[in-house]
Amino acid sequence: MEVGIVGGSGYAGGELLRILYLHPYINIKWVTSESQPGFPVALVHPNLRGISSHVFSRVSDVGSCDCIFLALPNGESMKSMETWIEKSEKVIDLGADFRIQNPAEWSRWYGTEHRCPQILNRFVYGVPEIFHDEIQEASCIAGPGCEAVVSILSLYPFVKNGLVRNFPVIIDAKMGSSQSGKKISLSTHHPERAGAVRSYKPTGHRHTAEIEQVLKKFQKDLKISVSATAVEMVRGILVTIQCFLEDDVGEKDIWRILRQEYSEKPFVRIVKQSQGLYRYPEPKILQGTNICEIGFEKESEGNRLVIMGALDNLVKGTAGNAVQCLNLMAGFPETMGLEFPGLHPV
């Protein structure tokens, strides 16, 4: 299969390249960058030295291919999406533009009018663990936000099976610096970011819209509240989720539901150990992997459940998840090109 990557000079584009160069059924036809045209890919992504012989093209210079990935800043892909759909029978957007199905909700959370609302219904929300069959049949995929996908995967089994009470569900997300993208800003400047544990979005996080859009399919009156904190970590997200269970739910029920939903899902790992250092999900050991770890602890007296979820925001949170979707769309093995197990120590 021949693929093209639009916006290949950013962090998400670099991860797509790293994964796809080693995918046995994929040939990268072209890679675009409006800021780096004519520059070698390996100059911008030095980890691809000796692997990549591509140079960045301009968007105006590329043609059609079997699948196009768009790795652009929020608000950009909607401006040209109809053109990309004409160039390829399969399109996977890693950005936010087609995640929210209601254009009024897009405007509410992103503060702009949606430029292409007439094709929103062509996009399937790309969480393979939940929408496996829909993704297999889709031609257009909206890749989820990194904090959204780990939160959705962590909560989905409990919400789907009616275990969560109708109290507010509180998500505390600790985020690495790469989730803010490659564009330089004061908040990512090293003297300002180093050593930081900084609350930057205590309320009103945009990914709330995606999380509720998915989980309200199973519990219509569910209310999600997200707080986000920047920590001194390049890759990774750890969410700590506080919710309350129905009175008769015990730990055996929790294990049964998790196994029921995820025992056949290759990229979800349930982590709850009684000994060792890594007893719960840990972003550090997931760097470079397409794995989402989920763990939990139920309060011994009461029905508070604390769920912990972790992943690499650039892989399972973005590029790896997108390749997982492509594998399903193309009929490849779901794990193809995504088998990297991670490193320890890091």
Catalytic machinery residues: 146
57 with 32: CB under 8 angstroms? yes
DSSP 11-57: HHHHHHHHHHHT-TT-EEEEEB-SSSTTSBHHHHSGGGTTT---BPB
242 with 302: CB under 8 angstroms? no
User: Which CA distances in Å does 157 have to 143, 253, 255, 264?
Assistant: 20, 11, 10, 13
242 with 299: CB under 8 angstroms? no
CA gap 30, 340 in Å, rounded: 24
Assigned token pair, 292: 């989402």
Q: Are strands 90-93 and 27-31 parallel, antiparallel or unpaired?
A: unpaired
CA gap 316, 109 in Å, rounded: 23
* Three-class secondary structure of residue 265 per DSSP: coil
CA gap 253, 251 in Å, rounded: 5
Assigned token pair, 214: 């998915």
CA gap 90, 69 in Å, rounded: 9
Question: How far, in whole angstroms, is CA 229 from its chain's centroid?
Answer: 17
Q: Residues 301-318, buried b or exposed e (16+ Cβ, 10 A)? A: eebebebbbbbbbbbbbb
Tokens 């991860």 belong to residue: 15
CA gap 1, 213 in Å, rounded: 32
CA gap 230, 228 in Å, rounded: 7
148 with 203: CB under 8 angstroms? no
Assigned token pair, 158: 């409990």
Q: Residue 158, Cβ neighbours under 10 Å: how many?
A: 26
